[in-house]
Amino acid sequence: MADEKDFSITISRRTFLKVTGTVGLVSSFYVIFGTEESLAKKGPPQPVPEPPKLIWSEEVPTICCYCSCGCGALCGVEDGEVVAVVGDPDHPINGGTLCSKGASLLNLRRTYDAYRNLVLNPERLTQVLYRAPGGTDWQTLDWNTALNMIAARVKATRDAYFEETADVGGSPVTVNRTKAIAHWGSAAIDNEENYLMHKLMRSLGVINFDHHARL
C-alpha cells in the first residue's frame, strides 16, 4: 500500500509557513473559517465582512486536472478538509503559478457561499443516481444495489450478443467479442484507473471502445 505521507519526506516547507512561524503567528493563523465543524459550533451562518485568515497545517501535492501542462498544485488541508488549492512552488513546470482554471481547483469540491462560508460544491454528485426506463427524475440507490444491477445488465447483454467465432473467407476465426456493449474511457481520470477499465472491458470482449483522444 502506498504511504500517503511519503511526499512529506521530499517536499520542502513553504517559505510562507516558515516566516509566519518565526513571527509567532502560527496559533492565530491556524484558525479555519467555514468548515462544517466550525459552522456547527457557530450555529447558522452569519454575515461577516471578513473570515479569519486562511491557513492550513498540511499540504498535499497534486497535479492540475485540466489541461495537459501537468502543473503542480498543493491542496491545503486542515482538519481533514481542503481549504485552498494553490500552485506548487517546487514544481519545475509551473513554479507555483496557476491559470484561472488551476487557481479554481478548490471549486471542484468546495465553493464559498454568500456568507463566505466554505461549503461542499452543491453540484457535486454524492449519491448513486438511477433513472428507470421512462422515468422523469433521478432516484437514489445504494452502491450495492446499483453495482449488482449493472453487473446483471452487463452479463445479460454480453451473453445475448457474444460472438465466439466469425467467418473469415469461409473459415471460422476465434473472435470472442460482443458488439452490443460500448465503452468510453476518460482522459480525465488516472492511468491506473484507465488500465483497470481496459482489462475489465476487453475481458468482456468489448470492441466499441473509445475516448477523448478521438474527440
Partner 1 sequence: MTNHWIDYKNSDVIMCIGLNTAENHPISMKWINRAREDNGCTFIVVDPRFTRTAALADIYAPVRPGTDIAFIGGIIKYVLDNNLYNEAYVANYTNASYLVDPGYDFDPDTGFFSSWDGAKYTKSSWVYQKDGSGNVIKDPTLTDPNCVFQLLKDHYARYTPAMVSTVTGCPQDTFLEVAQTFASTGTVGKAGGISYAMGITQHTYGSQNCRILCVLQLLLGNMGIPGGGVNAQRGEANVQGSTDMGMLFHLLPGYVGMPQQGSHATLQDYVDKEVTPLAPSYWMNKDKFLISMLKAWFGDYATADNEFCYQYIPKLDGTNRSHMAIIEKMHAGEVKGAFAWGQNFAVGGPKAGREREALDKLDWLVAIDIFETETAAFWKRPGVNPSSINTEVFLLPAANSYEKEGTIANSGRWIQWRYQAVEPPGQAKSDLWIADELFKRIRGLYASEGGAFPDPILEMNWDYGTGEPDIAQVAAEINGYDIASGSLFTSFGSLKNDGTTACGCWIYCGYYESWGNPACKRRDFTTDPGGTGLFPSWAFAWPLNRRIIYNRCSCDPAGNPWNPDLWIVRWNGSSWETRDVPDFGAGTTAPSVTAQAPFIMLGPERQGRLFAAGMAEGPFPEHYEPKESPVSNALNNLQNNPCLVVWGSDFAAVGDPNYPYICSTYRVSEHWQSGIMTRNCPWLNELMPNMFVEISTTLASAKCISNGDMVEVSTVRGAITAIACVTNRLQPLNGVEVIGMPWHWGYAGMSQGPSANMLTAHVGDANTSIPEYKAFLANIRKVG
Partner 2 sequence: MSKVLVDTSKCTACRGCQSACKNWNQLPAELTRFTGSYENPPAFLPYTWCRVTFNEYMEGGAVKWYFAKLQCMHCAEPACMNICPEGAISRTFLGSVTRDWDKCVGCGKCGEVCPHQVPKVSSLKKMMKCDFCYDRTSAGEPPACVATCPSGALTFGDDTSILAAASARASQIGGTVYGEDNLFVYVLLRNKSDYKIEPGPLNPGSGPGGGGPGGGGGPKPKDAGAQGAGGNEDAGGGNADEDTKGGVKKQAAAG
If one asks whether residue 75 binds partner 2 (CB under 8 A), the answer comes out as no
Picked from partner 1, partner 2, none, the partner binding residue 91 (CB below 5 to 8 A depending on kind) is partner 1
Picked from partner 1, partner 2, none, the partner binding residue 1 (CB below 5 to 8 A depending on kind) is partner 1
DSSP H or E stretch at residue 165: strand 162-168
If one asks whether residue 91 binds partner 1 (CB under 8 A), the answer comes out as yes
Binders of partner 1 among residues 31 to 60 (CB under 8 A) are: 60
If one asks whether residue 138 binds partner 2 (CB under 8 A), the answer comes out as no
Could you give the CA distance from residue 177 to residue 149 in angstroms, rounded to a whole number? 22
Question: Please, which residue, 2 or 23, has the CB nearer to partner 1?
Answer: 2
Write a three-state SS string for 72-90: EEEEEEECCEEEEEEECCC
If one asks whether residue 212 binds partner 1 (CB under 8 A), the answer comes out as yes
Could you give the CA distance from residue 18 to residue 164 in angstroms, rounded to a whole number? 65
For residue 59, the cross-strand partners are: 76
Compute the least distance from the CB of residue 147 to partner 2, in Å: 30
For residue 63, the cross-strand partners are: 72
Binders of partner 2 among residues 19 to 38 (CB under 8 A) are: 19-20, 23, 25, 29, 33-34
DSSP H or E stretch at residue 194: helix 191-204
Compute the least distance from the CB of residue 24 to partner 2, in Å: 12
If one asks whether residue 165 binds partner 2 (CB under 8 A), the answer comes out as no
Compute the least distance from the CB of residue 25 to partner 2, in Å: 8
**Contact partners, residue 119, CB within 8 Å, separation at least 6:** 34, 36, 110, 111, 112, 113
If one asks whether residue 62 binds partner 2 (CB under 8 A), the answer comes out as no
